[in-house]
Amino acid sequence: MEVLKSQNVEQKEKPEPGAVSVTIPASPFMQKLGYGTGVNVYLMKRSPRGLSRSPWAVKKINPKCSRTQQSLYQQRLSDEAKILKGLQHPNIVGYRAFTEANDGSMCLAMEYGGEKSLSDLIEERNAARLGPFPAATIFKVALSMARGLKYLHNDKKLLHGDIKSSNVVVKGDFEAVKICDVGVSLPLDENMTVSDPQGSYIGTEPWKPKEALQDEGVITDKADIFAFGLTLWEMMTLAVPHLNLGTGTDDEDESFDEDDFDEEAYYAALGTRPALNMEELDPSYQRMIELFSICTSEEPQKRPSAAHIVAALEASLPPQ
């Protein structure tokens, strides 16, 4: 493992024998790629002494957070690093390094291959008024995500816990699709159920299934499947589930208007299957519409497993 150290900050731990010491530049000297709850993500270019090395995506705690929040997010980042280090799959973002500096700040370095989040691509496509992603592209994303979820659920007995378009990264023209942000994942038992009484499903509200919105709801691997289905919906609508941003209007300004937001209707819709505008979807979308529909069943037992989704999608691939 490569040992990192923040600029002008000494490491608490001594480098491992033969390890390469890499200085993480201060945040202003790195390109900001994005942000999440309590964290910022930066592009770290690595080409010492003229050597070409693949860049890293570095996740750091947002210094503007309160001290209490920083403590919470540092723990989450530490948990994410431990989980990510144990994962190795072509559809899961790879671990590179993790460190804590003397000032308490943490940095998680991950693989970076020129990716954008699927959420960014959805926003760009919406702004350009290009309509739904092609059915073949949605199929490719669905298969890649399902393979990653099958690995998490079946091989690692982990629930991702926050599947959505912003936690999927895409390289180039969908050459590679990978799931990221495993920091709120939860262990699954042999019945694919989150049985740890200390485990709490975090998720993100618009993507939460019905069982995650109930106090006594039993959380299983099917919670990820519901959110997976809504991610396919995002690609067909270019909208956020239950908010309907940028759809159903011909106005040039499609920004969210807080005054028009029906809060009661929004909360009533959470955990349900949002509607599709079928006029925008030709027959080529039929398989993806069916997959979205079955994955967003309100009853978890009616949703397919990630393994079943992979098997179904791979069966329709052309022979190699």
Confidence band of 40 (pLDDT split at 50, 70, 90)? confident
pLDDT recorded at residue 258: 66
Q: What is the pLDDT of residues 179-201, one digit of tens each?
A: 999 989 999 999 999 988 788 89
pLDDT recorded at residue 241: 96
State the architecture of 31-111 in CATH terms: 2-Layer Sandwich (3.30)
In the residue annotation, 189 being an active-site residue is answered as no
Q: What is the pLDDT of residues 104-130, one digit of tens each?
A: 567 898 988 677 899 999 999 999 999
Extents of the domains making up the chain: 31-111, 116-246+260-315
pTM above 0.95, yes or no: no
pLDDT for residue 82 is more than 50: yes
pLDDT for residue 6 is more than 50: no
Between strands 21-24 and 3-6, the pairing is parallel
The reply to whether domains 31-111 and 116-246+260-315 share a CATH topology is no
Q: What is the pLDDT of residues 127-176, one digit of tens each?
A: 999 999 999 999 999 999 999 999 999 999 999 999 999 999 999 999 99
- Is the domain defined by 116-246+260-315 classed in CATH 1.10.510.10? yes
Q: What is the pLDDT of residues 243-288, one digit of tens each?
A: 874 444 444 445 556 667 788 899 999 999 999 999 999 999 999 9
Question: Lowest-pLDDT range, 57-71, 83-97, 191-205?
Answer: 57-71
Percentage of the chain beyond pLDDT 70 is 81
Residue from 162, 181, 221, 224 carrying the catalytic annotation: 162
